[in-house]
């Protein structure tokens, strides 16, 4: 039964809709027959080649399915850990504990939207933008300054109308000495949200930019 329990823990199912596509679904299944000791794993997806990347199985060991927004390294790692004798619960805990991106949990509502699927997409982008922004801030705080701008760029791509997201990108650029990029991001931030000017004027992140005439003109209330 080891393989059945493990497989079900990792199976993922989603329903999706696109403007020019019919309904489609994504799901995985792992099954075990105690009478014959046979097990199997299958996936269903609109993505081509899903069967070559998502199911993993070894006779006498177990079967794993990783799907949706899955970490594809889970499968090989899980099989290897099962071979070492870890229980399914131990395998799940070990590989998810080691994955900093394991939290995919989102609660968004579109109770009265005219176009609920479009609104879900917009709200999901806003939620994911916040996650990338938080990771960017964490990277900067931990001294990984060179990695932080990329996460903030991803946040901006998902929420381009936010002055705060643009402001944070300006901070990240300033922290790595890319002052031209920092100024451009800050300019776009205050264009959207004018009340950011006093904050920028006093922000230590822009300390080395304060003598720039362009910066001084920008932050004047």
Q: What SS3 state is found at 207?
A: helix
Instruction: Assess whether 210 and 127 both reside in one domain.
Output: yes
> Residue 88's CB: how many other CB atoms inside 10 A?
22
Instruction: Assess whether 124 and 153 both reside in one domain.
Output: yes
> pLDDT band at 5, cuts 50/70/90?
very low
- Within 90-140, strands assigned E span none
Instruction: Assess whether 23 and 82 both reside in one domain.
Output: yes
Is 146 domain-assigned? yes
**Cα–Cα distance, 121 to 99 (Å, whole number):** 25
**What tens digit of pLDDT does each residue of 155-172 get?**
999 999 999 999 999 999
**What tens digit of pLDDT does each residue of 81-95 get?**
999 999 888 988 898
Give the closest residue to 28 by CA, choosing from 58, 62, 64, 57.
64
Domain tally, the chain = 2
pTM higher than 0.85: no
Domain range spanning residue 11?
2-97
């Amino acid at each position: 039964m080891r393989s059945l329990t493990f497989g079900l823990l990792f199976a993922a199912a989603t329903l999706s809709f696109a403007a020019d596509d019919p309904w489609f679904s994504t799901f995985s299944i792992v099954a075990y027959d105690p009478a014959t000791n046979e097990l199997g794993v299958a996936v269903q997806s609109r993505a081509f080649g899903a069967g070559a990347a998502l199911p993993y199985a070894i006779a006498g060991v177990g079967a794993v399915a990783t799907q949706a927004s899955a970490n594809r390294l889970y499968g090989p790692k899980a099989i290897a850990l099962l071979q070492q004798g870890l229980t399914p619960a131990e395998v799940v805990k070990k590989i998810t504990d080691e994955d900093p991106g394991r939290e995919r949990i989102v609660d968004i509502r579109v109770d009265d939207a005219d176009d609920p699927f479009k609104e879900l997409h917009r709200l999901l982008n806003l939620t994911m933008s916040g996650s990338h922004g938080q990771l960017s801030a964490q990277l900067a705080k931990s001294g990984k300054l060179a990695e932080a701008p990329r996460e903030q760029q991803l946040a901006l791509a998902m929420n381009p109308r936010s002055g705060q997201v643009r402001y944070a990108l300006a901070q990240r650029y300033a922290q790595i000495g890319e002052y031209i990029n920092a100024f451009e991001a800050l300019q776009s931030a205050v264009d959207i949200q004018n009340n950011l000017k006093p904050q920028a004027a006093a922000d230590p992140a822009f300390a080395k930019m304060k003598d720039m005439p362009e910066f001084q003109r920008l932050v004047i209330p």
